[in-house]
Amino acid sequence: MKNTEYSNPIIQLLTMGKCELSMDENDWPDYPATGISEKDIPELIKIVTDKDLLKLDGKNPMVWASLHAWRALGQLKAVLAIEPIIAMLEEYNNDDYAMSELPIVIGMIGGDAIAPLGNYLMDDTKDEWARVIAANSFTKIALKSPEKRNECVNILSGFLDVATSDTASLNGLIAADLVDLDAKEAIESIRNACQRDIIDEGVQGDIEDIEIALGFRKTRETPKKQSEIFKKFREAMKQSPIFSDNDDDYVSETVINPYKLGRNDPCHCGSGKKYKKCCL
């Protein structure tokens, strides 16, 4: 890609370089203040959909251009960008920045994204983690546009009604999204999904955790299960030459116990993401 393919002020995005991941769009640069406006939307879309940018060496500042472009599209509430962004979800599904920020961008654009997102979410030929981005986008839309909340909740709960164990991680994350929306009206869909054992309990927990989060119960009736990942990690840590018996509580309670961190707490790795969508 050549800089000459783009006009001012878009060309500046090719040299802005790295910026920190932020799940708060208020921390993003003010791109319209740099002169970028609605007339530049086609060029911004061209950058976001340029697959060659994804192949660039990480030291090349141009590799960050797509991030700057999608943030600008969000700030411009660019409805024209909805379909192109959704079409790129499988290209971005291994990109931590995209996983975190594209739902925010789509949420900023608003309710026009609901129908195409719903079609994408229900398409079982699409990659599961690309569909995770789509699902989380409904949460962002509902939070930004409260009048669209019921529509978003219905789509997410409707997905759980027909989901299978083939998408256990996606199902668990959708349950977490519904908790984020305090979607008490979706509890029967969530309960049924848990009864069918199609939800990854490592995301939001089991049905008792979810019922507590949504206010349907105050305490657990059964002991909390340790996940298999937790057990294996803990045993592996015990084999470490630097591990001592005095470290046992630290390993189990501080380092890897997902129940010591709230579902919306920032991950202890420093990524800026919520724990449930990062090291968990």
Give the model confidence (pLDDT) of 64-75 as tens digits: 999 999 999 999
Task: Give the residues of the chain that fall short of pLDDT 50.
Answer: 247-264
The domain segmentation of the chain, as residue ranges, is 1-116+128-144, 146-225, 227-280
Report pLDDT for 257.
45
**119/111 Cα distance (integer angstroms):** 14
Report pLDDT for 265.
55
Give the model confidence (pLDDT) of 121-160 as tens digits: 999 999 999 999 999 999 999 999 999 999 999 999 999 9
Give the model confidence (pLDDT) of 78-103 as tens digits: 999 999 999 999 999 888 899 999 99
